Amino acid sequence: MGKKETEEAIEEARRGGLKRFDSVEALFADLNADDTPEIDEGSTNVYADLGRPDADEMQAKATLVTKISQAITARQLSNDQAAVALGLTLAELGELLAGRFRGYSVDDLERLPALFDEAGR
């Protein structure tokens, strides 16, 4: 907490905006109160959980991009080398690996790993 936040907290306390406790026991009781929000367990497809109409396609793309990233790591390629092997610019590869793959079709993404093999020949 920085100086500004500390000063704001002190002012809040002076205005009576902070909760006060009569005893340490009351403070601990409040801290231990079960006011944790309910947690809903999701499915294995975060896109479906978010209600996206293209959830299956987005999940397939995310899986393919993960495999591409793993292939880059396994081959110990730099991003420059990987971009060249995949026929992408460095910026395009960066966007793809950052999860911005909406502009790619599943077919496009399925073809990319094969380019590693061709580049290695």
Burial of 97 (0-12, 13-18, 19+ CB in 10 A): middle
For residue 79, count other CB atoms closer than 10 A to its CB.
13
Q: How far apart are CA 66 and CA 95, in angstroms?
A: 13
Is the same domain home to 26 and 63?
no
In a domain, 15, yes or no: yes
Burial of 57 (0-12, 13-18, 19+ CB in 10 A): middle
Is the same domain home to 28 and 58?
no
Percentage of residues of the chain with pLDDT beyond 70 = 88
Is the same domain home to 63 and 96?
yes
Range of the domain at 15: 3-32
Mean pLDDT, rounded, for 1-5: 73
Q: Are 113 and 67 in contact (CB under 8 A)?
A: yes
**pLDDT confidence tier of residue 113, bands split at 50, 70 and 90:** confident
For residue 83, count other CB atoms closer than 10 A to its CB.
19
Give tens-digit pLDDT for 12-55.
777 766 677 778 887 777 777 766 667 778 888 999 988 999 99
Q: Is the pTM of this model over 0.75?
A: no
Q: How far apart are CA 102 and CA 95, in angstroms?
A: 10
Question: The domain spanning residue 105 has which CATH number?
Answer: 1.10.260.40
